Structure 1
Amino acid sequence: MHRLAEELRLPVNGLDYTILALYFLVVLGIGWAARRSVRTSLDFFLSGRSLPAWVTGLAFVAANLGATEILGMAANGAQYGAYTVHWYWIGAIPAMVFLGLVMMPFYYGSKVRSVPEFLLHRFGPASHLLSSVIFAVSSVLIAGVNLYAMAIVLEALLGWPQWVAVVVAGVFVLAYITLGGLSSAIYNEVLQFFVILAALIPLTVVGLRRVGGWDGLSSSLSAAHGEDFLRPWGGTGIGEANALGANWLTITLGLGFVMSFGYWTTNFAEVQRALSARDLGAARRTPLIAAFPKLLIPLVVVVPGLIALVLEPGLGRAGSGLSYNDAIPVLMRDLLPSGVLGLAVTGLLAAFMAGMAANVSSFNTVFTYDIWGAYVRRDRPDAYYLATGRWVTAAGVLAGMGTAFVAASFGNIMNYLQTLFSFFNVPLFCVFVIGMFWKRATAAAGFWGLLSGTVAAMVNYFWLYRQGVLAIPSDQGANFVSSIVAFAVGAVVMLVVSPLTRPRPAERLAGLVYGTRAPGAQEPPAPGDDAWYRRPALLGWGTVVLAAACYVPFSL
């Protein structure tokens, strides 16, 4: 595994460790309290579909606020500059709004317990089993990213051996999910959201003061890297060179459409939070509520990456001993005093545990319901599946510990994560969106579209890009192209196969295809849901307008 430089070791003391210990105690306390609400498998896997929208909304954004955000996006900020904001304002917000306004009525209205289960109803067992296996593999790999990121940080900052950091975090995640199921994970994610912000906001404020505010930061970076480094759309014309290695077309189609929509609308680690809401209105508002804090996350994640590049100009350069992933640890070493340092370390640990818990809790649901319960041990008592879920949770944590070593080969973990998303989430989104809007799409088309899209993305990345057949200037550019290829190939295969195979009867598509409605699926609005500030359309389009407005200051 990659080892951070010894010079990153932090001068932590008893106060810092006390803050860390208190956090662990609270985490276990939440799991212990949540255990009383777990009586059935639905309680364990989906919180009994009983949670309010503000809780599921914060958990929705916190589930993504793991290593992807804290280390990965700070690393992207240091490596790619302001281009990184595209992952938020065009690469997240529109897809989150689409999920809330368009897709949640299908998910929640059909009463499915997981994303792959929707494919079972729409396309049949072949697509269901394939998507379940793909998701189970990807969730374990992504859980490993969070463990790996946490291990290298704690080794460098606190001197903990990597195996100790992995075991400690894994044991605590295992304990609170096994005790309280998804409710424990979600309430811990709400806590972790505020702990993470309490750690990152001081880091950003102190960092900006050190570099002379935004004017000082922009002057330093423009002088060293050019003016386009702080202009999200600067130098993105087709044929122009830029730090990201992508043009406006690959950014809007590759990231803004297929990769973004593929992740936010089909990734069960996120959708599971919305499915645990107490009614359809709350489920629809879940990603829309999450979109508002998502708009502002770049201020405390991307900006610190830019600050770290000014304070440590050798970041990411050969021979410096520091990779782009070290941006946040560098700032913690240089800027934070004791006490605040302990809070920052706790915030990092909270982020890693939130990301891992989100993937483990979704893994145990998909494996138990969609693989074990559907194809291995059918029609067993509910208590059997509840017990199975707890055992599968342990297996998922152990598998995540193993896959942590896979992430070690990537100097920027965001590149690794985006590669996984292009392989697994984009083909799944292609099948979903075509199946939801085209009645003629058949079961065979769903299976072969999913399989061909996945294979096409892998071929593009491992052969055309890695072997130099295509001249793509960066890993991120290759991921955008892989996403476009995966969606295009999957769509073409579905369009070709569907007319050649028999469609499902129209009555079996009720509530699964746009323009149809399942009998009894329409719920009356919950008390208070007709208030103007709770209307999904207002929340959704409001965040889209705000996301577009966020680009304006970078264009002045």
Structure 2
Amino acid sequence: MHLGAVDWGVIALYLVFVLGIGIVSARRAKSGNDFFLAGRAIPAWVCGLAFISANLGAQEVIGMGASGAKYGISTAHFYWIGAIPAMVFIGVFMMPFYYGSKARSAPEYLRMRFDEKTRALNALTFAVMTILNSGISMYALAKLIQTLHVFDAPFAALGLPQAWIFHGAILTSAAVVLVYIYMGGLRGAIYNEVLQFFLIVAGFAPLVWLGLRQVGGWHGLQASLAPGYTHAWAGMAHATTNRLGVDWFGLSMGLGFVLSFGYWCTDFLVVQRAMAANSMSAARRTPLIAAGVKMFIPFIVILPGLIAIALTSAPDHPGQAPAAAVAPGQIVHHDPGVIPIKIDPTSGKPMLDARGQPQLDYDLATPNLLLRYFPIGMVGVGLTALLASFMSGMAGGVTAFNTVFTYDIYQAYIRRDASDGHYLTVGRLATLFGIAASVAAAYLCSQFNNINDFLQLVMAFVNAPVFATFLLGMFWKRTTGHGAFIGLAAGTLTAAIHHGLTLPVNDLPGLKGGWLGVTHTYASEMAQNFWIAIWAWGACFLVTIAVSLMTKPKPEGELTGLVYSLTPKIVHETGPWYMRPVILGVIMLTATVVLNLIFR
């Protein structure tokens, strides 16, 4: 790949703005409240865009493009079923508890509602998850830089091996994120996420338009793909067309309820953005504003994957060389190599599944499509959009990690009564440590041919059981601290056992499961993830109830503002419709139903 001066200029300008925002934000990061919660002074619309952008990282832009190529339009279920309802729920029902309790983190809310041991368990598992999440973004960025050969010439001029480009890209991206979070804290991350959101839209909307033109529009895309790729619901009716390999119950319960609500309602990475809002009303509207944007994100992150697979010779979908030009409505033939075979970075040989067949590297669907269609100048915009998504994913994980580490691990168990300045220093050091740990986690991702599969596996272990804990804690006053802790531990252990006893079809035992012995195989890695989440949530939910009934709950006077039935109801909000959370929530749910019907 050869970048022109304009392309390099766009990338350089983006980095200047990123670091500039960090420098400006540093002027206001003088206290722990400023550094960790942006002083709770951010407008609702900014928090809303940051709320969605924190999730619009590598796992979204690259991972959802990879899932679109691997599973088809049914990947949109991660949005229209696996996001919008949960975002409405947290905005209408749960944000009053988070924001009103004045908790500085989700684990701190668990301490206030239950006890220290429940907080500690959640803080530790969440810290691990955020590190892995940031590592995913670093891995995707480094892989992109290596694949596009952006730095081949500089490394060759310095006499350095080309294999070092991967490592250099990881370290460089880590350094950039470290600088602006270390200086500006959450405020620097939030305003950078808003910038990154607009860059992502500007970079990928033209890519989708050009790609659809090449394949003859939506109807041409449908005709070019195997059955099941372009029908979100109809394709699930038969095993031969069910790309996800999940039945309606596994999809609705695993993704639509457990993973969805577990992430959007309890994951501090996104909740932190709403908690930085300047009022209770703004905090409640933050996830609802994000939901209005979220429902249209599939059109810029999933469609590139479908277009790429339509132009690729997949093992189950043979193709031929394409014609030079395609008129609207004309069916295009396939172009071998848009999505390449996945190569083992150690041996340099193709990675094979259990059948001995080479695996497609779905993570390269979106980057390769970008190279195919964008000219000089636009390549810089597209590449900058990808960089923005990676930076956003890394920053989201690191800002959540430094807050949880400082308040829920260091202050709680190492030094309780230090000054605010001391905790601010610890938070900055935690940022440094979080970046370093994320670098190590980045190398784990090389075992997966779809980083979204890896992300959902991590969430099944962490978010699924903790959602049961939050749900019972907020809406059942009888839940006890002992019940919450034992239930959370049981849910996490159940996830590990289920993972160890099951394996996706055609995969080998190891990181993807089966390390205790294979008692069941799933049609896909995503199907396995959904059922791990279901079992983990169910175990936590049932064990928490059983233990709570046998132990003594907190007095009701200590639960005011923490439990729904013991909290004064919010006065009905007046003003324009777009300022009322309930009305906004109804609009978002209605629009989601319409989208599901259109693409059924």
SS in 1 for 2:599: helix
1:163 and 2:154 equivalent? no
1:102 and 2:93 equivalent? yes
1:543 and 2:543 equivalent? no
Between the aligned partners of 2:284 and 2:480, the Cα distance in structure 1 is 28
State the match for 2:429 in structure 1: 391
State the match for 2:140 in structure 1: 149
* Maintained 8 Å contact 1:79/1:316: no
Q: Give a deviation string over 1:56-103, Cα, whole Å, max 9, x none.
A: 000000000001111100000000001101000000000000010010
State the match for 1:404 in structure 2: 442
Between the aligned partners of 2:310 and 2:280, the Cα distance in structure 1 is 47
State the match for 1:125 in structure 2: 116
State the match for 1:553 in structure 2: 598
SS in 1 for 2:54: helix
Return the offset for 1:32: 0.7
Between the aligned partners of 1:215 and 1:470, the Cα distance in structure 2 is 38
SS in 2 for 1:229: coil
Between the aligned partners of 1:509 and 1:252, the Cα distance in structure 2 is 32
Q: Give a deviation string over 1:519-549, Cα, whole Å, max 9, x none.
A: xx97997xxx622221001111111110110
The amino acid that maps onto 1:138 is M
Between the aligned partners of 1:99 and 1:408, the Cα distance in structure 2 is 34
1:137 and 2:128 equivalent? yes
* Maintained 8 Å contact 2:556/2:566: no
State the match for 1:276 in structure 2: 276
> Comparing 245-254 with 231-240, which one deviates more in the overlay?
231-240
SS in 2 for 1:480: helix
* Maintained 8 Å contact 1:240/1:247: no
> Comparing 366-375 with 497-506, which one deviates more in the overlay?
497-506
Residue in structure 1 matching 2:535, options 478, 481, 485: 485
1:25 and 2:29 equivalent? no
State the match for 2:374 in structure 1: 336
State the match for 2:154 in structure 1: none
State the match for 2:545 in structure 1: 495
Alpha-carbon spacing, 1:515–1:240, altered in 2? closer, same or farther (3 Å): farther
Residue in structure 1 matching 2:579, options 507, 529, 534: 534
Between the aligned partners of 2:472 and 2:240, the Cα distance in structure 1 is 34
SS in 1 for 2:30: coil
State the match for 1:355 in structure 2: 393
Between the aligned partners of 2:396 and 2:305, the Cα distance in structure 1 is 25
TM-score between both structures, scaled by the size of structure 1: 0.94
State the match for 1:175 in structure 2: 179
Return the offset for 1:553: 2.2
Return the offset for 1:502: 1.2
Return the offset for 1:238: 8.7
* Maintained 8 Å contact 1:238/1:248: no
Residue in structure 2 matching 1:457, options 489, 495, 498: 495
Residue in structure 2 matching 1:215, options 198, 211, 219: 219
Residue in structure 2 matching 1:439, options 477, 489, 498: 477
Which residues of 2 match residues 244-323 of structure 1 at below 5 A?
Answer: 244-314=244-314, 315=339, 322-323=360-361
Between the aligned partners of 1:391 and 1:524, the Cα distance in structure 2 is 43
* Maintained 8 Å contact 1:93/1:544: yes
* Maintained 8 Å contact 2:577/2:584: no
The amino acid that maps onto 2:598 is P
Between the aligned partners of 1:470 and 1:241, the Cα distance in structure 2 is 21
The amino acid that maps onto 2:99 is Y
Return the offset for 1:464: 2.9
* Maintained 8 Å contact 2:502/2:522: no
1:426 and 2:432 equivalent? no
Between the aligned partners of 2:7 and 2:131, the Cα distance in structure 1 is 31
Alpha-carbon spacing, 1:230–1:241, altered in 2? closer, same or farther (3 Å): closer
* Maintained 8 Å contact 1:74/1:328: yes
* Maintained 8 Å contact 1:295/1:547: yes
Between the aligned partners of 2:95 and 2:582, the Cα distance in structure 1 is 13
SS in 2 for 1:91: coil
Q: Give a deviation string over 1:301-342, Cα, whole Å, max 9, x none.
A: 111100011122343667678501010111112111000000
* Maintained 8 Å contact 2:245/2:524: yes
Alpha-carbon spacing, 1:305–1:235, altered in 2? closer, same or farther (3 Å): closer
State the match for 1:56 in structure 2: 47
* Maintained 8 Å contact 2:203/2:382: yes
1:373 and 2:421 equivalent? no
* Maintained 8 Å contact 2:229/2:235: no
Return the offset for 1:243: 1.3
Between the aligned partners of 1:138 and 1:132, the Cα distance in structure 2 is 10
Between the aligned partners of 1:305 and 1:339, the Cα distance in structure 2 is 23
State the match for 2:188 in structure 1: 184
Between the aligned partners of 2:576 and 2:221, the Cα distance in structure 1 is 43
- The CA RMSD measured in Å over matched residues stands at 1.6
1:43 and 2:93 equivalent? no
* Maintained 8 Å contact 1:150/1:165: yes
SS in 2 for 1:230: coil
1:416 and 2:454 equivalent? yes
Return the offset for 1:516: 1.4
Q: Give a deviation string over 1:24-75, Cα, whole Å, max 9, x none.
A: 0010111111111112100000001000000000000000000111110000
* Maintained 8 Å contact 1:124/1:443: yes
* Maintained 8 Å contact 2:236/2:243: no
Between the aligned partners of 1:333 and 1:239, the Cα distance in structure 2 is 34
TM-score between both structures, scaled by the size of structure 2: 0.87
Between the aligned partners of 1:277 and 1:486, the Cα distance in structure 2 is 32
The amino acid that maps onto 1:471 is T
Between the aligned partners of 2:48 and 2:586, the Cα distance in structure 1 is 17
State the match for 2:158 in structure 1: none
Return the offset for 1:471: 2.8
Q: Give a deviation string over 1:263-287, Cα, whole Å, max 9, x none.
A: 1111111000000000100000000
SS in 1 for 2:449: coil
Q: Which runs of 5+ in 2 are unaligned?
A: 152-164, 315-338, 343-349, 351-357, 504-512
Between the aligned partners of 1:398 and 1:238, the Cα distance in structure 2 is 46
Between the aligned partners of 2:237 and 2:216, the Cα distance in structure 1 is 32
Between the aligned partners of 1:117 and 1:321, the Cα distance in structure 2 is 43
State the match for 1:11 in structure 2: 2
Q: Which runs of 5+ in 1 are unaligned?
A: 1-9
Between the aligned partners of 2:215 and 2:543, the Cα distance in structure 1 is 53
Between the aligned partners of 1:128 and 1:64, the Cα distance in structure 2 is 24
The amino acid that maps onto 2:596 is Y
Alpha-carbon spacing, 1:523–1:397, altered in 2? closer, same or farther (3 Å): farther
Between the aligned partners of 2:46 and 2:252, the Cα distance in structure 1 is 31
The amino acid that maps onto 1:204 is V
Greater share of helix residues, 1 or 2? 1
* Maintained 8 Å contact 1:109/1:522: no
Between the aligned partners of 2:36 and 2:554, the Cα distance in structure 1 is 30
The amino acid that maps onto 2:197 is F
Report how many aligned residue pairs link the two structures. 537
